[in-house]
Amino acid sequence: MKLTLGATTRPWATWTFEEACRGIAAAGYTDVAIFGNAGAVSLASSSTPDDIAAVRKTVAAAKLTPSMVITGMKLDLPIDDAAADYRKVIDVSAAAGVTWVMNCGCAKPELYEKYNELFRRCAPYAQEKGVKLTMKPHGGNGLTGKDMRRVVEAVDHPAFSICYDLGNIIYYTKGAARPEPDVHDIKEHVGICIIKDCVVTDGKPDVNILPGTGLVDFRSVLGSLTGAGFRGPLYVECLGGSEWNDIQDRARRTHAFISDIVAAL
């Protein structure tokens, strides 16, 4: 079995988007998930055609596929305006050649239903544009697999699924939950997966570490996902390190580590 293995630009966040793409390609990844770089967000609802063209040019130069982007929502706005703004996000993502439009859920309980309504309105539009919407665990309504299942059932559309972030299950529960059992509550609704590890020291969680050196049993979780029909893609989000050469080494080692697990599935 072969799963697409990409990387987010987060480990290279202090460098430009162009530099991040070069680093990701040099480390052996085929896909890039677009996060913020050097204080700038490459794609957003406000992106112009020139902005989109620049992203496409940069990614093409690195011979990468820009298959995922992290996005925000404007839930402080009235629902009609919030949905209109997110449809712009979808338009920009589609124009940039992005397949997966990811968000980090909602941290405010009073906005949970508004979040659900936003994606009930936007999922059909995304499907028309050939884009898939996904949320990842980030506390709040995405704290655990059970929480995310409630969101999936509330949105109830095939263009909306879960971006399962293994390390965040530990991080946001401070170790009270683990992805190995948690994944079974949501595994059939996972569209993409984030490769991230986590440790908890004196009650303080940390995800900025090399995958395979923390608490996550990647073989177990990925095995559960593929057993439920998951076929990727996967994106590496955190590696640890701060210097370019160290990050590149960690990126290559993580590519080999995850590739070996995938090859054995």
Sort strands 204-206 and 199-201 into parallel, antiparallel or unpaired: antiparallel
What does each C-alpha distance from 230 to 15, 77, 182 come to in angstroms? 32, 35, 16
pLDDT for 2: 67
Kindly report, residue by residue over 69-79, the tens digit of the pLDDT. 999 999 999 99
Sort strands 5-8 and 234-236 into parallel, antiparallel or unpaired: parallel
pTM: 0.95
Whether the CB-CB separation of 190 and 230 falls below 8 Å is answered with: yes
Beta bridge partners of 235: 6, 194
**32 vs 17: CA distance, rounded Å:** 10
Q: Which two tokens stand for residue 144?
A: 């655990």
Whether the CB-CB separation of 163 and 192 falls below 8 Å is answered with: yes
**22 vs 185: CA distance, rounded Å:** 37
Rounded to an integer, the average pLDDT of 187-207 is: 97
Whether the CB-CB separation of 214 and 240 falls below 8 Å is answered with: no
In the chain the domains, ranked by start, together with CATH numbers, are: 5-264 (3.20.20.150)
Kindly report, residue by residue over 67-121, the tens digit of the pLDDT. 999 999 999 999 999 999 999 999 999 999 999 999 999 999 999 999 999 999 9
Kindly report, residue by residue over 201-212, the tens digit of the pLDDT. 999 999 999 999
Rounded to an integer, the average pLDDT of 15-26 is: 96
pLDDT for 36: 85
What angle (nearest 5°) sits at the alpha carbon of residue 173, between those of residues 169 and 174? 110
| % of the chain beyond a pLDDT of 90 | 94
